[in-house]
């Protein structure tokens, strides 16, 4: 037997507003509100297919506002998409996805109806950095197209992938956006220095961008790594190391920190060396 909660009201067949002691929460799940009345008890257990919970007061208010503005049918459809995402990764998603993704899809459909162009300047970086999220976002877009008879721009796959990634890791979309922006600027810097365009879908470039993403995360968390071959790498690949020093300046400026180590720079040097050789072929 699972924990029981007092129902305050059912927003529709799939959304319950409940009381947990002194705290109000929103429960979202397929059919959980059907026939439910205020004052009844709701038991959250493993029998229920999947129940999402929104606990933060601000998130609850924002969700209710979206529910009133976009309507229960649209919200229910979006919740099916969120269920698809959760099942695909077999993990819990941050509750902000119930606001950020639904609001994003709503805005996108309005923009498409008005004939506005939707461009994503970071599409290649997003596909490289968040491959799993990108694949699921593609399926989300296909379902939106089927439901609303629209053609989702390719850039939308990238935007939705960012929302998915954010929901998987602490709900902070701004962190993912920051990483994409920095990666894009680093790639531009390298292209200017090398004098050629980089193939962002090549295995070497994808590996570099993924590694750079983790470099950014380690710099933010002030984590250090070890590299016993640091001096050897820097000596052997002097030209690539000179490029990496320029990347270092960019990273420190963007992240407002100067804690990137020589060991970290050595790993970046190896990646840059491969990219330079790729461009030479």
DSSP-derived secondary structure letter, 53: E
Predicted local confidence at residue 259, as pLDDT:
82
- Give dist(CA 154, CA 123) in Å, integer: 8
* Strand-pair category, 41-44 with 52-54: unpaired
Predicted local confidence at residue 70, as pLDDT:
96
pTM for this prediction: 0.80
- Give dist(CA 190, CA 194) in Å, integer: 6
> 131 is in which domain, residue-wise?
64-171
Predicted local confidence at residue 52, as pLDDT:
92
Residues 182, 254: one domain? yes
* Contact criterion met (CB below 8 Å) for 186 and 253: no
Query: Please, what are the averages of pLDDT over each run of 10 residues along the chain (281 residues)?
Result: 86 93 91 92 70 93 96 96 95 94 96 92 88 97 97 95 91 80 94 92 89 90 87 94 96 90 94 82 44
Predicted local confidence at residue 281, as pLDDT:
44
Residues 186, 247: one domain? yes
> Can you give the CATH number for the domain in which 208 is found?
1.10.1790.10
**Pick from 146, 138, 27: which is nearest to 85 by CA?**
138
Specify the number of domains making up the chain. Answer: 3
SS3 169: coil
- Give dist(CA 186, CA 128) in Å, integer: 14
Residues 268, 186: one domain? yes
SS3 260: coil
Task: Kindly give, in sequence order, each residue whose CB lies less than 8 Å from that of residue 203, ignoring residues fewer than 6 positions away.
Answer: none
Residues 47, 89: one domain? no
> Can you give the CATH number for the domain in which 43 is found?
2.30.24.10
Residues 19, 80: one domain? no
Predicted local confidence at residue 21, as pLDDT:
85
Domain boundary among 121, 148, 171: 171
Residue 259, CA distances (Å) to 187, 243, 264, 265 in order: 21, 18, 10, 11
Predicted local confidence at residue 50, as pLDDT:
81
Domain boundary among 150, 171, 192: 171
């Amino acid at each position: 037997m699972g924990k029981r909660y007092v129902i305050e009201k059912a927003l529709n067949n799939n959304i319950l507003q409940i009381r947990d002691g002194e705290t109000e929460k929103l429960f979202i799940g397929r059919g959980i509100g059907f026939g439910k009345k205020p004052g009844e008890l709701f038991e959250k257990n493993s029998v229920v297919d999947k129940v999402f919970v929104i606990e933060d007061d601000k998130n609850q208010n924002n969700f209710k506002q979206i529910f009133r503005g976009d309507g229960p049918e649209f919200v229910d459809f979006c919740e099916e998409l969120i269920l698809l995402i959760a099942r695909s990764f077999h993990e819990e998603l941050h509750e902000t996805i119930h606001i950020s993704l639904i609001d994003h899809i709503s805005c996108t459909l309005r923009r498409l109806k008005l004939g506005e162009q939707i461009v994503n300047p970071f599409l290649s970086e997003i596909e490289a950095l968040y491959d799993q999220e990108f694949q699921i976002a593609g399926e989300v877009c296909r379902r939106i197209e089927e439901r609303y008879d629209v053609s989702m721009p390719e850039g939308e796959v990238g935007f939705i992938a960012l929302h998915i990634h954010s929901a998987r890791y602490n709900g902070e979309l701004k962190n993912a956006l920051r990483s994409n922006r920095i990666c894009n600027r680093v790639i531009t810097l390298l292209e200017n220095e090398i004098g050629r365009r980089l193939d962002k879908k090549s295995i070497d470039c994808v590996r570099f961008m993924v590694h750079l993403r983790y470099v950014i995360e380690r710099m933010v968390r002030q984590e250090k790594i070890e590299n016993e071959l640091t001096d050897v790498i820097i000596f052997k690949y002097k030209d690539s190391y000179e490029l990496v020093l320029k990347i270092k300046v960019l990273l420190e400026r963007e992240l407002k920190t100067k804690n990137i180590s020589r060991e970290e720079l050595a790993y970046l040097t190896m990646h840059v060396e491969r990219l330079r050789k790729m461009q030479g072929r």
